[in-house]
Amino acid sequence: MPETAEKIPVTVLTGYLGAGKTTLLNRILSEPHGKKYAVIVNEFGEIGIDNDLIVGADEEVFEMNNGCICCTVRGDLIRIIDGLMRRKGKFDAIIVETTGLADPAPVAQTFFVDENVGNKTKLDAVVTVADAKWLRDRLKDAPEAKNQIAFADVILINKTDLVSDAELRETEARIRGINPYARLHRTQRAQIPLNEVLDRKAFDLERILDIEPAFLEADDHDHDHHHGHDHHHDHGHSHSHGGLKHYHDEEMQSISLSSDQPLDPDKFFPFIQNLTQAEGPNILRCKGIVALKDDPQRFVFQGVHMMLEGDHQREWREDEKRTSRVVFIGRNLPEEKIRKGFESTVATY
Amino acid sequence: MSDTHGPIPSVVDRVKPVTAGAPVFGVHFLKDRAVFALGEETLLFVAADGSEQRIRTHAGGILAAVSDGTRIVTAGDDGKVVATNATGETEMLATDAKHRWIDRVALGPDGAVAWSAGKQAFMRKAKGEVKLLDLPSSAGGLAFSPKGLRVAIAHYGGVTLWFPNAQATPETFAWKGSHLDVMFSPDGRFLVSSMQEPTLHGWRLADAKDMRMSGYSAKVRSMAWMADGKWLATSGSEQLILWPFGGKDGPMGKQPRMLAPYSKRAVAVACHPKQEIVAVGFEDGLIMLCRIEDGAEILAKKPGTAPVSAMAWSADGAKLAFGTEDGEAGIADLA
């Protein structure tokens, strides 16, 4: 088998109804970038461009037969990708557009779970288009909207012309309360250089570099953590840090862990595997770069629910501080337990 | 084929290569010509003397190609079902009104054809109106029962048995999971489905008893019955897996026979029309002919650059045609 055959990158485009997904899609299909896309959509009629390779999908999710409710897969995607591969030379990449209410997890998991799909294609990024004016309301009343933000690698806060700068910063703060590492862009009419949404390699283990943007420091989490969270409303809970508002969504959280001491591989691997098995349904995504004791290489991993993949990435450089950083994004995560569990994996020898 | 064997008998020098020029996803013999279904648009007819004829049947990808020996019926992403006969004449059998992809098609007695699109299954007799069945989920593979006009349709959660001509409500055999393709045993007593998981499922029709055939290392993408229905040959492991279907319990409680072990996975199987010999295609392009009686192996094609994607025996069993995902193709003359 040709090992060097390039896997076709797949971009998942998600976003609540009316946010501007279709506008972005039409942009991608009409700009003169010289690339050909196969597009998988739910509603045929929406695309204004005549593209050879537009396929209508049924968005059918089914549970794997292992009894785990979070192990869901897009069956129709498996079939469509199989069919698209018959016309392999005719497109450079695939875009999967999901409906407004879709949970991105099954789409992503499809690439981890089906061998054929995993052999021929690779997930490039989850791109979420959000409506600057309505997102905060949606985050309050639509769990799907939260999922789409939590899952994203790139978020377009679209229709910024309809909101004030203060509202915009509020929206960004709420997004950051859910997703600490997605790249945020402010856009109007989904105008964005296409290399910010395509060819991101966000699921490429080689590229797991930036886990924490400057916005969110590990310290802040420790600080907020000491506030007793006894109440359970489903709205953001804010604090101020020198003028910058921090939002922590009561239900959806991100947990950032770090250690300057290397981790014991005999403790770390069971920890991460057991955690994703036990809390799988609650963990939407996780990413990490870890320094292992007596290991000159960085170990990087990422996961979607219970599915984890990881590998050695490269050697630590001489001048690089060997800091381990791990991020979990999920719902109702047992934060204390996770922190303690992580701390217990630090090498004691 | 254990890699530590000495050289095994080979018929590689009896293969006439075919320059398909495109990936091959199906192959069948019509009269004395091998017909290769290419990834896109074209059926390639190749005669014994090597002469070729290319017939364009679809305006896009060809997603399914089946044959009853007298014609090849293909379905494509253009939403059409097309029949092509031995002389290369085509006939449009159906066009999906919603332009949906059609990637599963089955042939039945007296020229009946069935296909699926979206959550619907369709059937028409040779010259007849199209009947349709709505299903609760996407319709997958279909199969006609050997007797009577019944069509089995695979879908999420099980297989539904449809009686298109009768008033009877369809009967669903439930089993959790995604069922991809389905076949009847040649005697009509059993239904076998391949699943998204690396396993086969099945039912004995008389009492709807569930059967599980598992142990595979990957999805079973190719299944074929030995001519008399005694064995079901399957791919999906690093060897040929044969399930016994002879007795009244079929494979229930029995172990499969495992032949032609190899370091790579078997991805395609084709049974000789008369003898108990199976052609096994592997993911590295290797093809072995395996005799069931004693497991004897004959090399038919050396490994190449892509998985075997299609194989077919001629009706008299004298020839084996094959193709790979890379477009490597050929016809072995074994007479």
Least CA distance to A85: which residue of chain B?
B39
Q: Are the beta carbons of B138 and A79 separated by less than 8 Å?
A: yes
Q: Which residues in chain B have Cβ-Cβ distances shorter than 8 Å to A116?
A: 219
- What value does the mean pLDDT of chain B take? 94
- ipTM of this model? 0.89
Q: What is the pLDDT of residue A224?
A: 30
CB–CB contact A79 B61 (8 Å): no
pLDDT of residue B170: 95
Nearest-by-CA chain A residue for B307: A1
Angle A5-A8-A14 from CA coordinates, rounded to 5°: 165
B287-291/B277-282 β-pairing: antiparallel
Kindly determine whether residue A75 and residue B63, on different chains, have CB atoms separated by under 8 Å. Answer: no
A116 touches B: beta carbon within 8 Å: yes
Look at residue B207 in the predicted model and tell me its pLDDT: 94
CA A246 to centroid of chain Cα atoms: 20
* Inter-chain touch B305–A76, beta carbons under 8 Å: no
Residue in B closest to A58 by C-alpha: B118
**Nearest CA-CA distance, residue A212 and chain B, Å:** 37
Among B200, B231, B220, B222, smallest CA distance to B269 is for B222
Residue A229 clears pLDDT 50, i.e. is over it = no
pLDDT of res. B290: 97
Predicted local distance difference test score (pLDDT) of residue A16 = 85
Q: Give Cβ neighbours of residue A199 (< 8 Å, ≥ 6 apart).
A: A9, A93, A124
Residues of B with CB under 8 A from a CB of A: 23, 25, 39-40, 60-63, 77, 98-101, 103, 118-119, 137-138, 140, 156, 176-178, 195-197, 218-219, 283-284, 305-307, 326
Residue A64 pLDDT greater than 90, yes or no: no
In this complex, do B196 and A64 lie within 8 Å of one another by their Cβ atoms?
yes
For residues A14 and A81, what is the distance between their CA atoms, to the nearest angstrom? 18
Query: Residue A168, Cβ neighbours under 10 Å: how many?
Result: 15
pTM for this predicted structure? 0.87
Write the secondary structure of B78-129 as one string of H (helix), E (strand) and C (coil).
CCEEEEEECCCCEEEEEECCCCCCCCEEEECHHHCEEEEECCEEEEECCCCC
Query: Is the model's pLDDT at A47 over the cut of 70?
Result: no
Q: How many inter-chain contacts (A to B, CB under 8 Å) are there? A: 72
Q: Which of B118, B156, B306 sits opposite A62 (nearest CB)?
A: B156
Give the distance from residue A79's alpha carbon to the nearest chain B alpha carbon, in angstroms.
9
What would the pLDDT profile of B83-138 be if each residue is shown by its tens digit?
A: 999 999 999 999 999 889 999 999 999 899 999 999 999 999 988 889 999 999 99
Average pLDDT value for chain A: 83
Would you tell me how many other CB atoms lie within 10 Å of the CB of residue B50? 10
**Ramachandran assignment for A256, one of left (phi > 0), alpha (psi -120 to 50 degrees), beta (any other):** beta
Residues of A in Cβ contact (< 8 Å) with B22:
none
Question: Which of chain A's residues have a Cβ under 8 Å away from the Cβ of B98?
Answer: 56
CA dihedral of residues B58, B59, B60, B62 (deg, nearest 10): 0
| Top-confidence residue, A249 or A107 | A107
**CA dist list (Å): A154 to A125, A130, A151, A244, B156:** 7, 11, 9, 22, 33
Do A83 and B60 lie within an 8 Å CB cutoff?
A: no
Residue B116 contacts residue B139 (beta carbons within 8 Å): yes
Whether A330 has a pLDDT exceeding 70, the answer reads yes
Of A62, A76, A83, Cβ closest to residue B61? A83
Closest CA to B151 of B130, B177, B176, B178: B130
> Tens place of pLDDT for every residue, chain B, 335 residues?
555 556 789 999 999 999 999 999 999 999 999 999 999 999 999 999 999 999 999 999 999 999 999 999 999 999 999 999 999 999 999 999 988 999 999 999 989 999 999 999 999 998 888 999 999 999 999 999 998 789 999 999 999 999 998 888 999 999 999 999 999 999 999 999 999 999 999 999 999 999 999 999 999 999 999 978 999 999 999 999 999 998 889 999 999 999 999 999 999 999 999 999 999 999 999 999 999 999 999 999 999 999 999 999 999 999 999 999 999 999 999 98
Residue A1 confidence (pLDDT) above 50: no
Other beta carbons less than 10 A from residue B197's beta carbon: 18
- Inter-chain residue contact A83 with B103, CB threshold 8 Å: yes
Put simply, the chain A residues between 76 and 115 with a CB less than 8 A from any chain B CB are: 76, 78-80, 82-84, 86-88, 90, 114-115
What's the distance, Cα to Cα, between the start and end of chain B in Å? 23
Residues in A touching B103 (Cβ below 8 Å): 79, 82-83
Contact A153, A123 (CB under 8 A): no
SS3 call for A247: strand
The pair of three-digit structure tokens given for residue B191, joined into one six-digit string: 């239904």
User: Burial, A279: exposed, middle or buried (Cβ in 10 Å; 0-12, 13-18, 19+)?
Assistant: buried
Name the phi and psi angles at A172, rounded to 5: -65, -40
Average pLDDT over every residue of A142-152: 89
Phi-psi region of A287 (alpha: psi -120 to 50; beta: other; left: phi over 0): beta
CB contact (8 A) between residue A60 and residue B219? no
Find where tokens 């690093």 sit: B238
Give the model's pLDDT for residue A234: 37
